[in-house]
Structure 1
Amino acid sequence: MSERTAPVVDPSNAEQLRAWDGDQGAYWATRAERFDEGVARYQDRFLAAAAIEPGSAVLDIGCGAGRTTRDAARLAGPGTALGVDLSSRMVDLARELAAREGLGNARFLQADAQVHPFPDGAFDVAVSRHGAMFFGDPPAAFANVARAVRAGGRLALLSWQPWQRNEWVSTFRAILSAGRELPAPPPSPGSLRDPDQVRELLTAAGFADVRLHGLTEPMCFGRDVDDAFRFVVGQFGWLMDGLDDDGRARAADDLRASMAEHLTDGGVRYGSAAWLIEARRR
């Protein structure tokens, strides 16, 4: 039975809804396994920080295709895990995968966690793997999440460190922009990139004992150069907008050459750096 209704979305997240419930969400849904594989080396440490116990009620923010929600449901049994996301395509896929794996305690909802009326204190743990960094109004969003977590409950987030510390982002941007000056992604509080801003943001929202741990892991983008090239261009090909045919061809050749240099026995791998953020609800 479908739980879908038209989601109530804060105006600051309207663009995110258009992207994630549109082409971007569709792209991720059709390649969900690949995206999960890319960040797989972070998953065990992330779940350990969440410290999910049997009987827990878990909220997964920006659940995507539900990998973390399903892992949380296994750890929480006989408790529950609720995954919320703006993408109807990914929510549908998450439900399908949970049903296929027999996880009756995993539930999914298309919703904006920034404004969704979660019951007060309904969750023991809130988690987000690269989801909460997209909030349009971070103070309001984390205040809403804090309201949904019981006193003493836990928060565990995974977010990217600044793009300059992530080899994959800096390399793809440099190559596909072909030397042009493109605007750098701003290190806004919502991106969860700046430790001081993160501590201030979460403390103001109602959390305490905010801790950030820097993690670095290789990310896999494909089993070979051709596979990785198709995947990366599908995500970042827009960086070549404005190049003429010769410029696009040179950028494509340079990207393939870089991927050949990063080809390992485990596929095409680039370095990445993330923040593991932990906090407790006051």
Structure 2
Amino acid sequence: MSESTVVRVDPSNERMLKAWNGDDGALWAKRAERFNDGVAAYRDTFFSAAGIQPGDRVLDVGCGAGQTTRDAARLATAGSALGVDLSGEMLGLARRLAGEEGVPNVSFEQVDAQVHAFPEAGFDVVISRHGSMFFGTPLAAFANLVRATRPGGRLVLLTWQPLRLNEWITTFRTIIAAGREVPSANLALSDPEETEALLTSAGYTDFRCTAVNKPMYFGQDVDDAADFVIEQHGGRLSDLDEATRAKAVAALRADLAEHQTDRGVFYGSAAWLVEARRP
């Protein structure tokens, strides 16, 4: 993002803008292919639920480097797909890849979906693959998305189930803590009852939440996976002394080795497929 570019965000999302338009976004842009490969097992289930038709107008919230937006555009052959995100660097990559892959009916905008003035009833389908969990004020965000969804239009989200059900994140957080207290964390939209109440209050109806469990890919072998995991989570290792850090890295590599298969390194993951409709 150039210094002259100003992204209008709700005050509750200022921290997210700083992160995703800064170091976090830069890492996700650098490792976009690996992040996409990691959750590739969810793709068919996600797009089957979205049910995108050739003439649909699709909004992809928190699109990152735009893989799901481009995939949606390929399904909406006579329609269009708009991807929105806070990360200027990821959106730059998304635009470049769309050009290289020859996807003409796709566009990207750097906006805060919580407050952006989307066209009223402008989209037939609103999708988000793990991008809808970061709103500072979720009720306001989904109310804005309801307004952008046409009557009868669909909302399809992929969100994480609680941390304890996701082997990958609980394992990595514990190992990298290296004996220290593991920071507490709650994943937004991980409780189906709370998510139903939120979306219903925002104006959606016909709520449905389905548990989906898939293997999550981290690398072709231990070295490859360790490099990726340490790059993503290694900030917690930086303040350890050399010996403790080495011990933690060794523990990580040993655990990765236990998850090595002939197709690469995989850990269990658990997501919710959330579906709703604007009445």
TM range, normalised to the smaller chain? Answer: over 0.9
**What does residue 198 of structure 1 align with?**
195
Shift of 1:173: 0.8
SS at match of 1:116: coil
**What does residue 24 of structure 1 align with?**
24
Shift of 1:80: 0.4
SS at match of 2:133: helix
**What does residue 221 of structure 1 align with?**
218
Match runs of 1:98-109 below 5 Å: 98-109=98-109
Q: Are 2:247 and 1:259 aligned?
A: no
**What does residue 65 of structure 2 align with?**
65
Shift of 1:159: 0.6
CA displacement, residues 64-115 of structure 1 (integer Å, 9 cap, x when unaligned):
0100000100111110000000000110110111111111100000111010
In 1, the alpha carbon distance for the partners of 2:161 and 2:240 equals 29
User: Structure 2: which amino acid aligns with 1:247?
Assistant: T
- Unaligned residue ranges in structure 1 (runs of 5+): none
Shift of 1:6: 2.0
**What does residue 74 of structure 1 align with?**
74
SS at match of 1:132: coil
CA displacement, residues 149-198 of structure 1 (integer Å, 9 cap, x when unaligned):
011100000011111100000100111101211321124xxx11001100
Shift of 1:275: 0.4
CA displacement, residues 228-264 of structure 1 (integer Å, 9 cap, x when unaligned):
0010001111222432211111100000000011110
Q: How many residues align?
A: 277
Q: Are 2:278 and 1:281 aligned?
A: yes
Shift of 1:5: 4.5
In 1, the alpha carbon distance for the partners of 2:275 and 2:175 equals 35
Task: Judge conservation of contact 1:219–1:270 (CA < 8 Å) in 2.
Answer: yes
Q: Which range is displaced more, 233-242 or 126-135?
A: 233-242
**What does residue 240 of structure 2 align with?**
243
**What does residue 93 of structure 1 align with?**
93
**What does residue 47 of structure 1 align with?**
47
**What does residue 230 of structure 2 align with?**
233
In 1, the alpha carbon distance for the partners of 2:93 and 2:46 equals 22
Task: Judge conservation of contact 1:5–1:110 (CA < 8 Å) in 2.
Answer: no
SS at match of 2:178: coil
In 2, the alpha carbon distance for the partners of 1:118 and 1:101 equals 27
Shift of 1:7: 1.4
In 2, the alpha carbon distance for the partners of 1:213 and 1:166 equals 16
In 2, the alpha carbon distance for the partners of 1:120 and 1:37 equals 34
**What does residue 150 of structure 2 align with?**
150
Q: Are 2:166 and 1:169 aligned?
A: no
CA displacement, residues 103-138 of structure 1 (integer Å, 9 cap, x when unaligned):
110000011101000011000000000000111110
Shift of 1:34: 0.6
Consecutive aligned runs of 4 or more in structure 1 exceeding 6 Å deviation: none
Task: Judge conservation of contact 1:68–1:129 (CA < 8 Å) in 2.
Answer: yes
